Structures are given as structure tokens and as C-alpha cells.
Chain A
Amino acid sequence: MVQMTYRDALKQALRDAMTEDDSVVVIGEEVGRYGGAYGVTKGLYEEFGAARMIDTPISEPAIIGAAVGAAMSGLRPVAELMYVDFIGMTMDQLGNQAAKIRYMFGGQIGVPMVLRTQGGTGRSAGAQHSQSLEAYVLHTPGLRLVMPATVSDAYHLLRQSLRQPDPVVFIEHKALYTLKEEVDLSAPPPAWGKAAVRRTGDDLVIVTYSRQVHHALKAAEELSKQGLEATVIDLRCLNPLDFDTVRQHVERVGRVMVVSEGVMTAGVGAELSARIHEECFDFLAEPVIRLCGEDIPISVSVDLEANSVPTSQAVQQVAARLLAERSAA
């Protein structure tokens, strides 16, 4: 076990993958000499050189497209998109090319690439640098989607992503880079796509992922002081989705809250809520409650930004109310 930041765990995963497999290359803006806009790749240029840490001009569609071609040609590229907010620019290469090549071409070839990017609020970075756009990816068949919340998952899931036969979009959270936790680098990796149950309780299930896992856990600790015990499920992969774990706990507890930083409408929360209603209807004591980002852009104002997405207080309050209404009923 070592103490490590989320940022360093990602770097270690890249380093180990590159050491193990010569075909792994990193390609993106400022990934080499600069060391990454958030410092994730710092030092790797010195270790692996310019041929494997490939700095690019500011040309997002071509970066992702080049990664697609490289992946079809024997390399295992990790393309970095500096902010998930730029994904729209690359959506053709990602959605029409990377995601569909295996299928359109009748299974002749896959696109084993990883698109690493980061999203979320927390830095007053404004409307075009603070979004949570995972729903765009989840809505595209053919793309895998990973969103690690912990340092251990940052390491192990990035390693796992680099072993997948299909394109993986790996979305980090910009507010987690300095998170420091214990990690066992030599532990066997978690089964691909398996959710993690971070806490178990009998009163409520909170289904979430990425930074909101931490908000949910903090809220659960507070609720515990009031005698209310929550189960917190960290999905960590949204595609593949481990619905079996969700089902198992929903059926056991009967009350569910889905928490996501992405906007409410047609977001990941909507998909989860729909699926829980469809598949676990008979076990639900109450409708699923979604606590998600507001259906608005993110402001640069510190106050407006902070209140545009779920906070741990909001998770706690809504959960407490959900359970209070329940006992009153």
C-alpha cells in the first residue's frame, strides 16, 4: 500500500502500461513537454520520449481521429482531450468513427483506444470548461465509459481500460486530482465493469459515480449520526454497467436516490432511474429520486457554480427528507 494522489495514480497507470506494452502511446495537447494541463503526464516525456508522448497542435478532431487510425494500425493510443467540454468538436471521430468501426465493418477490426479527459465543476472555469458530458458518451453504442472516484480506481481502471478491445472514454474529475488515498498497485484489478459498494446500510441506496461518490459518503456519515444508514454504490463504469449490483441492493432496501453532477434532463441519472423503475418496480417503496446538476450552464461566479450541482449537504438533506416522508407515511 502506498499513499498517492489521484493525479499520480493516473500517471503511474500510464507509466506501467507504457513500460509493459511498447505499443502504448499518449497523444494530445500539452501531454509531453508541458506534462498535461492538470499535471497528470508530468515526467513521462522525459521517461518515454517524444515518439511515445506525442504533443499535438490544438486540433481536437484530428487528435481523436489520428488515435482511431493508430488503434486500427497496431498501436494502443491514449488520446487526451484537455476538457470533456471539447468533446463536441470530436464527436464525429468518436461517435461516427471510433464507436462504429467494429460494427460497420462486420467485426473485422476494433478500435482499442482510450480517450482520457476530465470534467466537472470546482474551479470557476466557466460554462465551457466545467461540464459533465458523460451522457453524450453513454448515448453512443460502441463506446465504453469509465469515471473513477477513488485513487485506487484511477490506477486500476486506467490499466484495465488499456486492456480493452474497444474504445474507452475515461473521464476524470478535475476536483479529484489532489485527492490522496492508499492504493495497492499490485492488487488484482477489479473485474471490468463491476460497481463498488462503498458503504452498506438498510435505509436507503445511493447510486452514484465520480466526485459525487465522496459527497454521498460524507452525507451517509452525517445521516448515520441520525440513525439512518445508507448504502453507497460507486458505479465507476457506466458502460459496461453493473446493474446486477444495483438491483441486488435496490431489491434489498427499496428506497433509492441517484446522484450525478451532469444535468438532470436526459442524463445518466435519467437512465439509471428508468432502469431501476423498470427492473425493480415491485421492490420499490417509493419512486427513485434523482439529485443531479441543474438544467443550466455552469456560471463563472463561485456561488452560482457551487449551487448548480449536488453538494454533500444537498445529498444529505434530500436523503433525510426522503426517509422522513417515508416514516410519516
Chain B
Amino acid sequence: MTAPIETAVADRAARSNTELLPLYRQMRRVRTFEERVGELFVRGQSAGSMLHLSIGEEAAAVGVASLMQEGDTFTTHHRGHGIFLARGADPKRMMAEIGGKEEGYCRGKGGSMHIADMGLGHLGANAIVGGGIPAVVGAGLASKRAGKGAISVAFFGDGAMQQGILYESMNMAALWDLPVVFVCINNQYGMGTRIEQATKGRALHERGLAFGLNAETVDGLDVREVRAAATRVIDAARGGTPGFLAIECYRFYGHARMDKSPYRSAEDEEQGRAKDPVQFARAALIEMGEADSTHLDALDQEIAAEMDATIDFTIAASEPPLNSMFRDVYAPGEPEPEAVAARIDRILARE
């Protein structure tokens, strides 16, 4: 391990008890952003209904993302708004992308499930369950070669635990001692399927151990615990021992916007939602005397105003111009695909 990393680790450990307020703030931003995504949909301003809210998963997103550094890269699944925001995304450009607008991160082409930003090391969200996982192996190979201590993190849901590609990827990461972390956000459901209905191997981290990864499972209620576990796994990964972290939480709402979760009971939801990482952190701050409720209310309101502005921004943003459709199929400077209409024009114009 290189010296700067050791220093950073020691530094973090020293601060860890006093860092709850900024972590709370980030979690509240994620929560409020997701609530606004729901509102954007209800107002008919989102591009489609395939919007997957990460409410209930804020500690997972913030606990891990708060440890990532410049140069680190990551991929996410389809429920990745919170992770990206916690990693420093501009919520306006995120919301505009969710609205399919030109001002969005991907100029309205990707949308909620395909958002990415190379500037922040976001190698892409994915609408294929497991589709983003193997890229971190390649990113890990590149970081290892560069030797600057950067890691690459794959975030995915419990559903992806049953995709073979995860195991191929974990095996390679371990075999080649790559600076890679696999983070499973276990919200107990994949669409209408509860994890017990998808697998009998419930100790998810054991699968990481089986491949020789440094693996643990942590509860996703207390962001400080998530952060502590993530610190262990990430620090080891920076040193070349890849890791796996399962974070146990609950998907508060339906799978996507049209799903009312008829397959689960009111008690199940009540119990699940009782595990609220944002409320938990808030209560802890007050209890520890780090903040009082007036202070936190003001903070929440400031965040609400910030996130309200994302909706206004998105509504005012522009539709991508039609001819942008042909842009970025290939690299800039390369010829664009010929439009079907142009082809037909040429054929009909011939003598």
C-alpha cells in the first residue's frame, strides 16, 4: 500500500464519529431527489415510467460513495440515482436526463437507467441486470497498471446475485488481485420476487469468500456502520485485495413507477420501512447532540429547495434536436449513419 492511502485511511478513522451530519445531508439529498423523480413522473414530465427509486437505500449509496476518491470509477444498476448523486452528480443534469432532455448528462439518450458521467468516474448505469458488473474488472486492470491506488466499484441489486456473470467477474478480480469492489444492495426484492424465492444461499458474502474475495455483509440502517464496513473492504481493495460487500436494506416502494407491489403485505412494507436510514441518522444526530431539530429542519428545507429547482430546470430544458439522433453512434468525426429518409430520397431521385 502506498503512503498517501495509509494517511487517508488514518484520517478517515479519526473523523468517523463526527461525520454523521454530512452523511445525513447526503442521504437527505438522495431521499428528496428520488421523491422529486416520483413527482416528475406524476406530472408527466419524465421520459417513461421505468424509474426505479432508491428510497430506503440511502445509507448504502452514501456509505460507500462517500469513500470514493477522484480517479475511482464505478458502475451501477438501474436503481442508481442515489449512488450517482452521493458521488457528486449535479441533480439538475440528472433530472434533465430522467426527463430525456438535451441538458441531461447523456443528452436525453440514456435516461434514468443509462445515466453516466466520465468526469465523476461513472462508467454507466445499466438496464441489463448484471450488465455493468464485468466492466469493473477491466477498470480494475487499468487501475492496477496505472498504480495510483484507484479502485473500481460495481453496484448492483440482489437480483444480480443470480446472474452467472457476477461469478465470472468475481473470480477474475480475485485471480488477478484487482482493486475492485462488488457492492450488492440487497433490498430484499427483485421486482415481485423476494430474495428467499430467488435463492437458498442467503449469506451473500459467502459467495465472495468462495472466490477469495474479502467479503462481508452489513446492515443498511446505520450509515456509519455501512461506512465502516465499506472502509475495510475499500481499503483492502486499494491494496489489491478485491472485495464484496452486501448491504441489507428494503425497497420502500414498487419496483418501477407503475408497480404498486400487490405481491407484498402491508405488514411487510411497514416493517421494511421502519428501517429508514435517513430517519435513523436524524434521530442519532439529535440524540448525540450534534444537531437539533430546528437545525435539521432548516437543512431539509434547503435541500427541498435545491431539489425543487431540478424539476423546474427539467421542465424548462429542451428536447434533443432530432438530428442528434444520428450523433454518437460512432466517434466524433466519423461519418454518421445515413438516415433512412436520405437513402430513400436518393433512390427515388434517380433517373
The judgment on whether A and B are partners is yes
Q: How far is the CB of B23 from chain A (nearest CB, A)?
A: 31
A295 to B111, CA, bound (A): 20
Once the chains bind, are A304 and B48 in contact (CB under 8 Å)?
no
Once the chains bind, are B319 and A301 in contact (CB under 8 Å)?
yes
Q: Which of A59, A295, A301 meets B320, CB within 8 Å?
A: A301
Q: Which of B113, B159, B322 meets A304, CB within 8 Å?
A: B322
- A301 surroundings in chain B (CB, below 8 A): 47, 100-101, 108-109, 111, 319-320
Q: Is A37 part of the contact surface with B, judged by Cβ < 8 Å? A: yes
A129 to B108, CA, bound (A): 15
Q: Is A134 part of the contact surface with B, judged by Cβ < 8 Å? A: no
Q: Which of A34, A128, A129, A322 meets B191, CB within 8 Å?
A: A34
Binds A, one of B54-62, B133-141, B241-249, B333-341: B333-341
Given contacts A289-B344, A307-B322, contact A124 B160 (CB under 8 A): no
Given contacts A57-B199, A58-B163, A318-B344, contact A300 B193 (CB under 8 A): no
State how many residues of chain B have any CB contact under 8 Å with chain A.
Answer: 48
Given contacts A34-B192, A304-B325, A321-B348, contact A125 B109 (CB under 8 A): no
- B338 surroundings in chain A (CB, below 8 A): 295
Once the chains bind, are A57 and B348 in contact (CB under 8 Å)?
no
Once the chains bind, are B348 and A302 in contact (CB under 8 Å)?
no
- A302 surroundings in chain B (CB, below 8 A): 47-48, 100, 319
- A123 surroundings in chain B (CB, below 8 A): 48-50
Once the chains bind, are B197 and A55 in contact (CB under 8 Å)?
yes
Within 8 A of B (CB), among A273-329: 287, 289-297, 299-304, 307-308, 310, 314, 318, 321-322, 325
B314-337 contact mask (Cβ, 8 Å, vs A): 1 or 0? 000001101011100100000001
Once the chains bind, are A300 and B322 in contact (CB under 8 Å)?
no
A123 to B49, CA, bound (A): 8
Minimum-distance CB pairs A-B, first 5: A300-B111, A124-B48, A57-B162, A34-B192, A301-B100
- 22 pairs across A/B with beta carbons < 8 Å? A30-B192, A55-B197, A58-B130, A58-B160, A58-B163, A58-B190, A59-B163, A123-B49, A124-B47, A126-B50, A128-B128, A294-B337, A295-B337, A296-B337, A300-B48, A300-B110, A300-B113, A302-B47, A302-B100, A303-B100, A307-B325, A308-B325
**Which residues of B are interface residues toward A (Cβ below 8 A)?**
47-50, 100-101, 108-114, 126-131, 159-160, 162-164, 190-193, 197-199, 263, 319-320, 322, 324-326, 329, 337-341, 343-344, 347-348
**Which residues of A are interface residues toward B (Cβ below 8 A)?**
29-30, 33-34, 37, 55, 57-59, 61-62, 85-86, 89, 123-129, 264, 287, 289-297, 299-304, 307-308, 310, 314, 318, 321-322, 325
